[in-house]
Structure 1
Amino acid sequence: MTLPPIHLAGNAHAIGHGLGVFGRDAVLRHLRPLPLWQYLTSLAQTPKAVQMRQAVQTEFPRYWQEIEGLAAGLQLPLDEVFMWNCRGDYVHQQSVDGCTTLFGPASDGVLIAHNEDGFPQLRGQCALLHAQPESGLAFSSFVYPGSLPGHTLAVNECGLVATVNNIRPTRIPAGIPRQILGRATLDARTLDEAIAVVTRTDRAGAFHHTFGQAGSRRVVSVEASAEGSNVSEVQRPGGHSNHLIAPSLSRLQQRITASSGARQQCIDQSLKQLPGDLDDGVSLSILRDTSGGHLPVYRAAADDPDDENTLATGVFLISANTVEWRIYTQPNTDQPDIEGVVLLSR
């Protein structure tokens, strides 16, 4: 199994510490030597970094405790670990955590499917976290070494499904780090709570979020940035890569990589040919598409232009009282690495 499950429980510091212990070797071997890590570390005492740190401590003290635990488990300076979790809150040429998402109606509810794209060297170094915090909601989330959960793909005990795609604005102010807001969505009991969290006007970096929830036929696509957000209630199958596409946000300047543009075009064309609703087979087929040559939807090239590979694909089937989920790390099998069901009690 290339996506091992890890089970953590307790207070915020304990859960962060467990994540740090899990990710220590991979962070030291693959991430800390990166120029991006060193660049972020050099900014740790700048006014912007200090302001963001103070904002997290004030607005989200429990997540700050998770970061403190994460640093302790990693056996690394707290400033370095915090800044790594702010890597999307600074304009930088290197892309991080790309991703592609499909969403829309399905025969028995709604479906959200997601390719989690990250650094190729982290293939086999990630995990599926099952967390039981003593404060906040229980959840399951794909996790990267050195990072808090909440900016990848996840489902919580209230049946809320959340997936996240990287967005690359050309201007990012000081504010609440985007990964902190992603973590906060895992404590949302409703879709509207999750939307309210990510559309805060005091945020720093930008993300695209997709939300669905057991017991609701709503699927919500949210493009959230410091300069404005767009919330779309999804009525038909759609998809999103790594740039803002809502007309209402067209004024915002952003960097659109060739890969993001090609993936968006590919999924749009595939969905145009779809005769009806989404299902797991169709979704996997689209997310595993390699017809784009050197710019495919499913990314496995050692020389990917954004230095990203598809590390996992998650499929969430959301119905009246359940979320059935499956996560795959190999593109040529129908057998998931790991799967589960969230059943809502009535």
Structure 2
Amino acid sequence: MNRDGKKVEMFQVGPCQDAYQFGILIGKRFSKLIKTRLATDLILHNQLLPFANNTLQSQSLLQTLFDNNQRKFPRYWDELLGTAAGSAVPLLHILLINFRKEILAFIPKEGAKSSSADTLDDCSDVLVVGESMAIAAHNEDANVALVGHTYLIKGILPDGMFFVGYTYAGELPSCAFGFNSHGLAFTLDSVPPAEDEVVAGGIGRNFISRDILEATCIEDAISRIRSSEISVGHCYNLIETSTRRILNVETASRKRDSVFEVGEPPFFHANMYLHLQINQVHDENSISRQKRAAALPKNSKEDFLSLLGDADDRKYPIYMTGPLLHTLCTAVIDLDEQTLSIIEGNPKKRDVSHVFSIKRCHGDHPNAI
């Protein structure tokens, strides 16, 4: 929900002559949101920009990071160039927020002006594929500065295929969740690898998730994830309606990954590695949410929504309302109904703002959602 109480806006883009034009249109449409997001982003101003301006320390890292991602994903790079031009904001600012995780890992902690600004995002997912229901429910949690600075992008490609991605202002669709006309959907959870597990100059998480939006099936999505040398870790919940499957994929640098197929027992994932063996940062917030989720009933869709709306733990609630982190919305993907619903506000109240059909439609009807 935006600050003025209006539901998150969806903007249809495409087909376009090229990726740069695609970005231009998004940048122009959401110029105000992008500018206000950049103006109020403490992580950008207190950490990313000071680091980027310290050329001795940062030049090599940033140049390698930018070069490798432009080479791997030239179309998505051009989208960012267009977004910067269309919104009339500095390109460096757009690049820094899109690569924030890949850069923050290399900023000396004592150099940060505000330690509280380190907290970027936390998300919670509860997943199940059983006889009676197959559901993925996801809380999209982010820094409170992102409240009111998100939008939905419906991108139509030249071949008629389309995707819908929940998008942070100025970033590639989508670092949160999305789906496409091949019947493939995903939600994302950040995970915290230890410092020695992060590789400088690798592929950015935003670029990989943007690529998954164009995947043709769940196997293609895994292939796209594995083809990239990710810089920091990430967790992907891949959902395919046509085969009624949900895969939880945990990744780390040096092309390490672990794939867990969700089945009858409900599976809760916060912001910690659960099955990929890797050194990770001890995250009390995630540990607390995991323990709380384990104690709550998970027998129905209503139970899932109640779990994601739970705020009984005042220090580390599953549903967050500040002061630092805020649950922006909840996405509910029902594989049997083949729908993705977005709930704004506490999911217990079920205030659904959008419902999308995610049936596989072979790109024949780009407006049929």
Give TM-score scaled by structure 1 length.
0.89
State which of 9, 18, 33 in structure 2 corresponds to 1:4: 9
Cα distance in 2 for partners of 1:224, 1:206 equals 5
State which of 328, 337, 354 in structure 2 corresponds to 1:338: 354
Supply the RMSD in Å over aligned alpha carbons. Answer: 2.2
Q: CA deviation at 1:121?
A: 2.7
Q: CA deviation at 1:168?
A: 2.0
Asked if residue 324 in structure 1 is aligned to residue 345 in structure 2, the reply is no
Query: Are the equivalent residues in 1 in contact too, given 2:143–2:326 (CA < 8 A)?
Result: yes
**Residue equivalent to 2:319:** 298
For 1:310, what is the secondary structure of its paired residue?
Answer: strand
Q: CA deviation at 1:135?
A: 6.1
Q: CA deviation at 1:103?
A: 1.0
Q: CA deviation at 1:134?
A: 2.5
**Residue equivalent to 1:114:** 138
In structure 2, the CA distance between the partners of 1:121 and 1:22, relative to structure 1 (3 Å rule), is farther
Query: Are the equivalent residues in 2 in contact too, given 1:89–1:205 (CA < 8 A)?
Result: yes
Q: CA deviation at 1:201?
A: 5.7
Asked if residue 58 in structure 1 is aligned to residue 71 in structure 2, the reply is yes
For 1:16, what is the secondary structure of its paired residue?
Answer: helix
Cα distance in 2 for partners of 1:77, 1:136 equals 32
Q: Give the 5 Å matches for 1:109-148.
A: 110-134=134-158, 137-148=161-172
For 1:212, what is the secondary structure of its paired residue?
Answer: strand
For 1:192, what is the secondary structure of its paired residue?
Answer: helix
**Residue equivalent to 1:268:** 294
**Residue equivalent to 2:3:** none
Asked if residue 17 in structure 1 is aligned to residue 24 in structure 2, the reply is yes
Query: Are the equivalent residues in 2 in contact too, given 1:15–1:133 (CA < 8 A)?
Result: no
Cα distance in 2 for partners of 1:85, 1:63 equals 11
Cα distance in 2 for partners of 1:96, 1:133 equals 31
**Residue equivalent to 1:253:** 279
Amino acid at match of 1:323: Q
Cα distance in 2 for partners of 1:295, 1:189 equals 37
Amino acid at match of 2:322: A
In structure 2, the CA distance between the partners of 1:108 and 1:190, relative to structure 1 (3 Å rule), is farther
Q: CA deviation at 1:147?
A: 0.8
For 1:46, what is the secondary structure of its paired residue?
Answer: helix
Query: Are the equivalent residues in 1 in contact too, given 2:272–2:280 (CA < 8 A)?
Result: yes
Q: CA deviation at 1:71?
A: 1.0
Q: CA deviation at 1:76?
A: 1.9
Q: Which runs of 5+ in 1 are unaligned?
A: none
Q: Give the 5 Å matches for 1:302-313.
A: 302=323, 307-313=324-330
For 2:23, what is the secondary structure of its paired residue?
Answer: helix
**Residue equivalent to 2:212:** 185
In structure 2, the CA distance between the partners of 1:25 and 1:201, relative to structure 1 (3 Å rule), is closer
Cα distance in 1 for partners of 2:161, 2:175 equals 16
Query: Are the equivalent residues in 2 in contact too, given 1:199–1:225 (CA < 8 A)?
Result: no
Q: CA deviation at 1:345?
A: 4.1
Q: CA deviation at 1:108?
A: 5.5
Asked if residue 196 in structure 1 is aligned to residue 228 in structure 2, the reply is no
Amino acid at match of 1:47: S
**Alignment length, in residue pairs?**
332
Amino acid at match of 1:40: L
Cα distance in 1 for partners of 2:182, 2:37 equals 35
In structure 2, the CA distance between the partners of 1:260 and 1:208, relative to structure 1 (3 Å rule), is same
Query: Are the equivalent residues in 1 in contact too, given 2:168–2:174 (CA < 8 A)?
Result: no
Q: Sequence identity of aligned pairs in percent?
A: 22
Query: Are the equivalent residues in 2 in contact too, given 1:19–1:145 (CA < 8 A)?
Result: no
Query: 308-317 vs 72-81, which deviates more?
Result: 72-81
In structure 2, the CA distance between the partners of 1:135 and 1:211, relative to structure 1 (3 Å rule), is same
In structure 2, the CA distance between the partners of 1:15 and 1:266, relative to structure 1 (3 Å rule), is farther
Amino acid at match of 1:6: F
Q: CA deviation at 1:225?
A: 1.2
Cα distance in 2 for partners of 1:76, 1:31 equals 9
Amino acid at match of 1:343: K
Q: Give the 5 Å matches for 1:38-57.
A: 38=45, 39-41=47-49, 42-43=51-52, 46-57=59-70
Cα distance in 2 for partners of 1:5, 1:197 equals 26
In structure 2, the CA distance between the partners of 1:207 and 1:135, relative to structure 1 (3 Å rule), is farther
Give TM-score scaled by structure 2 length.
0.83
Asked if residue 287 in structure 1 is aligned to residue 300 in structure 2, the reply is no
Asked if residue 238 in structure 1 is aligned to residue 267 in structure 2, the reply is yes
Moved over 6 A (4+): none
